[in-house]
Amino acid sequence: MNVKIVLKQLLFQNSCNISKMYSTFRVIESCLKQLIMSSSKKFTIAVEGNIGSGKSTVLAYLSKSSLCDIVTEPVDSWTNLNGNNLLGMLYNNPHRWGFAFQANAQMTLAKLHAQQSKAPIKVMERSIYSTRYCFVENLYRNNILHNVEYEILNDWFQMLISNDSCYLDLIIYLRAKPETCLERIKSRNRPEEQSITIDYLKQLHERHEDWLAPQIRTSTTPVLIVDANQTKEHVYNTTSTHLLTLTTC
């Protein structure tokens, strides 16, 4: 049996039925174990979701596993580009800085995709795909990006993903209500995020749904959808428990 093909064919969805959810994670765990044992290929997972959906929290828990190499979003480089806070500039004036930020975001994330992993599983906080299908797309739909800028970013994206280093084996989608995300954003109080509105979060939620929701999904990568409206502990338990058990196999 070709485990890679089986994994690609699985349609991972969250379920209110805990036993079904547990069974789904057991399938993932089994596939991961077989992949690691039968192949020298590194396995890459992207943790995706809206701003404030809990990605950093999940990654913090997963970082406890020696099996996982955690690659965080390059926020430091976005907030200090030769002394310029490009992320803050984007939020304050998206019409002026939207194209520049997204071009930089695609480049920095592509570098992280290509970064060699020291562990069997590389877990990324977001990916070049969410940059294109969520953030670039949202700017374009709001007439912030000109048609020419949109086409340039799309061509740039297509060129970057033609490289095998940008391949993803699995996406974990932390699906959270925009209202929940806004509460968490206010709680963590990051300076660059003070201007984020509920309307903006609702738009990004729709873009994530367009990209990853099972009914209208455009992603060809297997997707595990997790209800991220729950407590941090619940989200962690439902996304990481079985990945962490791999360290004992």
Detail the residues annotated as belonging to a binding site for ATP. Answer: 49-57, 184-188
Single out the residue of 113, 98, 142 nearest to residue 45, CA to CA.
Answer: 113
Separation of alpha carbons 228 and 208, rounded Å:
14
Q: Name, in order, each residue with C-beta under 8 angstroms of 157's C-beta and a sequence gap of 6 or more.
A: 106, 128, 131, 132, 136
User: CA geometry: angle at 228 spanning 223 and 231, to 5°?
Assistant: 145
Separation of alpha carbons 216 and 209, rounded Å:
8
- Set 125, 151, 179, 233: catalytic member: 125
Separation of alpha carbons 35 and 25, rounded Å:
15
The alpha helices in the chain, defined as continuous H runs, are 3-9, 18-38, 55-62, 75-79, 86-92, 94-114, 128-130, 137-141, 147-161, 178-188, 198-212, 232-244
Q: How many residues does the chain have?
A: 249
Whether 125 is a known active-site residue: answer yes
Single out the residue of 134, 148, 65 nearest to residue 99, CA to CA.
Answer: 148
Single out the residue of 32, 51, 40 nearest to residue 178, CA to CA.
Answer: 51
Q: Which residue has 């940008």 as its token pair?
A: 166
Catalytic residues: 125
